[in-house]
Amino acid sequence: MIKINENYLRLQASYLFSEIAKRVSAFQEANPERDIIKLGIGDVTRPLPPACVEAFKKAVVEMGEDRSFRGYGPEQGYPFLREKIAANDYHSRNMDISPDEIFISDGAKCDTGNIQEIFATDIRVAMPDPVYPVYLDTNVMAGRTGEFQGGRYEGIVYLESTKENGFIPDIPREPVDLIYLCFPNNPTGATIGGSMLKDWVDYARENKAVILYDAAYEAFIGEEDIPRSIYEIEGARDIAIEFRSFSKTAGFTGTRCAFTVVPKSCKAYTSKGEPYSLHALWHRRHTTKFNGVSYPVQRAAEAVYSEEGKEQTKSLVDYYLENAALIRERMLEIGYECAGGENSPYIWVDGKRDSWAFFDLLLERAGVVCTPGTGFGKCGEGFVRISAFNDYDNVERAMRRIKEALEGSQ
Ligand code: MLT
């Protein structure tokens, strides 16, 4: 009799964004005349930057010709892309990251989900609450948690992000081994300053822990003194793995390209206490389980770093930031406290009621989809996340309708 992986049975019924999509399509079916504006899942709506489209097309043509056709590429990514990333994202800001410490992949979701595989199952894992559900669910699947009780899994150290701490969790009092951090944060939109990030780096160094730093939204940081990468902090190379993505920066949610940085000096330990290179382990995993991102997609990603590409991606990011500012301003105007939306595409709104009730109210009365905060964890209860990823006209219309709906419900 074949047995299943029963860790999966501990998972909550469905993945948050699938559950929302299901509810929205049921509502749409029951109300076919209603116009729905989606500010739920952070999915971009603006087309790819022209520089990326040009590079993409050119690479497709190359693939159709005898002399330039390519088969399997390197699993870790083509050197042309890894070199551009190292130079533009790291060396230009004085961070010492080499191209061979960069692993190209088809998404930060997959990488942040898969990375836990290279660590033991009996480690202590700490993660924020609220949190991007992928970090938590993949640890549940791997058997690092006990039962789900009272909104939380046994065995996880939850790092509470609340209004009181400005949505930046405190350093845990107990020693932990693996720490997930995400800044600018999904879902709260909070950012972390250099000195607080240094406290985390120091903690990890003292405790021989590793920080998994999700920087998928770094392009939305406008303020100069907010770190864009954990490697801006001295000593981080030895204890941190960083995840980045072209999805939100350059509109690649449907095109798929991201990367993970695993510095060669970053170590974890064998059961005998001997240090072992995480770069070597991730390299082994990546080359075994992944065959690389397609050549045209990597050429399109490379174009993000051309002069035109830089200008075009900046204007894309600025476009969504304008939406974020509008959402934030309107919610504040009608008396709802917000975090995020300033160096982030997400606005975390205190809904002053149950998260799903607020979600239903916005859907039913305003025809607007948001994400209920409770889907990101217990500390998300009472909040909703509004995403700035949509066209400006839609965001304006959505905010008019939200204003009417909320003012009518008070
Ligand atoms: C989100 O809405 O949180 C993101 O779109 C999820 C993702 O990037 O996978």
* Mutational test site, ligand 1, from 132, 256, 386, 390, max ligand atoms within 8 Å of CB: 132
Domain limits, the chain: 6-47+308-409, 52-306
Would you say the CB of residue 375 lies under 6 angstroms from ligand 1? no
* Mutational test site, ligand 1, from 43, 136, 383, max ligand atoms within 8 Å of CB: 43
For the entire predicted model, the pTM comes to 0.96
Q: Which atom of ligand 1 is nearest to the CA of 387?
A: 2
Cα-to-centroid distance, 41 and ligand 1 (Å): 6
Q: What is the pLDDT of residue 303?
A: 98
CATH superfamily of 6-47+308-409: Aspartate Aminotransferase, domain 1 (3.90.1150.10)
Give the Cα separation of 240 and 178 in Å (integer): 10
Q: What is the pLDDT of residue 327?
A: 98
Give the Cα separation of 242 and 168 in Å (integer): 18
Question: Across 91-208, where does the E strand assignment appear?
Answer: 102-105, 125-129, 148-149, 152-153, 156-160, 178-182
Least confident of 84-98, 260-274, 396-410: 396-410
Compute CA 139 distance to the chain's CA centroid, rounded to the nearest angstrom: 16
Which residue is closest in CA terms to ligand 1's atom 5? 42
Q: Which atom of ligand 1 is nearest to the CA of 371?
A: 2
Give Cα separations from 174 to 79, 126, 207, 393 (angstroms).
41, 10, 10, 48
Which residue is closest in CA terms to ligand 1's atom 4? 42
Which residue is closest in CA terms to ligand 1's atom 1? 42
Cα-to-centroid distance, 43 and ligand 1 (Å): 7
Q: Which atom of ligand 1 is nearest to the CA of 43?
A: 5
Which residue is closest in CA terms to ligand 1's atom 9? 109
- As assigned by CATH, the class of the 52-306 domain is alpha beta
Would you say the CB of residue 186 lies under 6 angstroms from ligand 1? yes
Give the Cα separation of 259 and 245 in Å (integer): 6
Give the Cα separation of 41 and 292 in Å (integer): 26
Which residue is closest in CA terms to ligand 1's atom 6? 42
Mean pLDDT, residues 314-335 taken together: 97
Would you say the CB of residue 109 lies under 6 angstroms from ligand 1? yes
Give the chain's largest Cα–Cα span: 68
Cα-to-centroid distance, 40 and ligand 1 (Å): 9
* pLDDT per residue as tens digits for the range 15-56: 788 889 999 999 999 999 999 999 999 999 999 999 999 999
* pLDDT per residue as tens digits for the range 244-297: 999 999 999 999 999 999 999 999 999 999 999 999 999 999 999 999 999 999
Asked whether residue 410 carries a pLDDT value surpassing 70, the answer given is no
